[in-house]
Amino acid sequence: MSTRAILRTAVLTLLAATSATHAADPTTLAAKSIEVPAGSLASALEAVARQYGVNVIYTSSELRGVATEGVKGKFTAHQAVEKLLEGTPLTIKVD
Three-state SS sequence of 19-48: HHHHCCCHHHCCCEEEEECCEEHHHHHHHH
pLDDT score of 38 more than 90 = yes
Specify the pLDDT at position 52: 85
Residue type, 7: L
Specify the pLDDT at position 91: 75
Which has the minimum average pLDDT: 22-31, 34-43, 56-65?
A: 22-31
Provide the β-strand partners of residue 72. Answer: 35
CA–CA separation, 65 and 17 (whole Å) = 24
Kindly indicate the confidence band of residue 78, based on its pLDDT and cuts at 50, 70 and 90.
confident
Mean pLDDT of 63-82: 92
Q: What is the mean pLDDT of the chain?
A: 75
CA–CA separation, 35 and 58 (whole Å) = 21
Specify the pLDDT at position 7: 47
* Phi, psi torsion values for 3, nearest 5 degrees: -60, -40
Specify the pLDDT at position 1: 45
pLDDT score of 14 more than 70 = no
Q: Residue 14 in contact with residue 57, Cβ under 8 Å?
A: yes
Mean pLDDT of 11-34: 58
